[in-house]
A = this chain, B = another copy of it.
């Protein structure tokens, strides 16, 4: 457990007022707090002034303070009797386009109390960001999207409170990490110009807000911090991930990548941080193949092909009969296809090697991953050549983005000390497979660190460690966003990276294709 001085809760013992020291109650409290926190600015709300005089006397001038910050400015969020046994909690939120995860944290101990996840209810309007931005063009549409997420969050907060034997009034702080569009919709702010050149969000760093103003039902004096974004395409979820990775504290240069439909990348060390983002296409998150789906029971997440017998071994989530394949499964599959020689370096299925696994369809060549008699649907699970072509473009885009950003700072990918894989989707990827298809660079496998849901972890850090706010501020100010310039150089790199693993095999020395001799 961290030092209590890391927490947002602190107890203040005030000198008793006398005729010679008769400053006002609030002034007495704030002046002592300023000394204790070493700051010269603490906001105190009218709401607190109303309860302060009686409470401060009841507590004999020993008072519990629940603090928060708006970047460098402290906010006295609430005050309470130190003898009051009520739990003081916070909620960290990873606000994903598809999935939302919330975690309840005890603000005194810093411990996680409970966690739950649910689909982003805005999916009912559209599964992807673009559809939602278009829908939010009208005030009515924006209101609807905002209402969807706010009301769902309120319901889920109520449920998670119930499971922890708490009330929403026990929750004082909330931290929200999400991409720029999701946080705009959460705040009810128009994301219209995010996707229109020159790609302008309304805000990069909203002030810490009152939960009430957002329609969030927690304690009436509760505050909400939305992680800053660096621009339209580099959101607060990434800033949160950077915070969690501590990449900004290291001497050696490292890279952090959120692998998904958008590839968001930051490279740097304690002295500098460069970020960029680019579209990798939906193939990595399984948005293209007919069989593609999100991780869930019965979804194939791992594929192994015996290089000798070419027998296919699949693993499904929950070990139930297969119903489809997720992105990490597809990457595994493509890697195994390639390594077993059933797919060539151009990413084309090779019927002469694959034999009966491959059949011709009206949509071109297709590979039967699971025959109908073994699938949950009684239908063959089939991957088409076109699906592999999509994957090929996506993995090429990812690698090109990584190569371009590294080149821009004069660093070769192989020099990277650590490669952090951020985001929920990234945590399912087997780095070895990703290297085999040339999506991620061929670094020693121990340099890969999978961070899991780094967005949620960073948001949780902020609630359990008050110093994190300063670090967020530092990260925000230090990250330089680089617009990916899709010039001839980029296109050349992209073409080369379209091969498996690459036109230059010396970049991927560890990738060995099974030879038939």
User: Contact residues of A with B, CB < 8 Å?
Assistant: 17-27, 41, 43-47, 49-50, 52-54, 57, 73, 187-190, 192-193, 197-207, 209, 213-214, 229, 231-232, 483
Contact = CB atoms under 8 A, between A and B. Distances in A.
B204 A23 contact: yes
A25 B232 CA distance: 11
Contact of A25 (B23, B41, B188, B202): B202
Task: State the number of copies, please.
Answer: 2
Shortest 8 CB-CB distances between A and B: which pairs? A26-B203, A24-B204, A19-B198, A24-B201, A22-B198, A27-B204, A24-B203, A53-B202
B202 A49 contact: yes
28 contacts: A17-B198, A17-B200, A18-B198, A19-B198, A21-B198, A22-B199, A22-B232, A23-B231, A24-B200, A24-B202, A24-B229, A24-B231, A25-B193, A25-B200, A25-B201, A25-B202, A25-B203, A26-B202, A26-B204, A27-B204, A43-B207, A44-B207, A46-B188, A47-B213, A49-B202, A49-B203, A53-B193, A57-B193
A268 to B, nearest CB: 20
Contacts of A45: 207
A214 to B, nearest CB: 7
Contact of A52 (B24, B46, B202, B229): B202
A406 to B, nearest CB: 22
Nearest to A203: B26
Given A50-B190, A57-B193, 8 more contacts: A17-B198, A20-B483, A22-B200, A27-B203, A27-B205, A41-B73, A46-B187, A47-B213
Contact of A19 (B19, B22, B483): B483
A47 B214 CA distance: 10
Contacts of A200: 17, 22-25, 53
A474 to B, nearest CB: 16
Given A19-B483, A53-B190, A202-B53, A214 B46 contact: yes
Nearest to A18: B198
A19 B197 contact: yes
A78 to B, nearest CB: 16
Contacts of A24: 200-204, 229, 231
A483 B17 CA distance: 14
B231 A22 contact: yes
A50 to B, nearest CB: 6
A57 B483 CA distance: 23
A331 to B, nearest CB: 33
Most B CB atoms within 10 A — which of A201, A213, A231, A483?
A: A201
Nearest to A214: B46
Contacts of A46: 187-189, 206-207, 209, 213-214
B27 A187 contact: no
Nearest to A51: B190
A54 B189 CA distance: 11
A47 B23 CA distance: 35
Contact of A206 (B19, B49, B205): B49
A54 B24 CA distance: 44
Contacts of A232: 22
A49 B19 contact: no
A49 B198 contact: no
A51 to B, nearest CB: 9
Contacts of A231: 22-24
Contacts of A18: 198
Contacts of A199: 19, 22
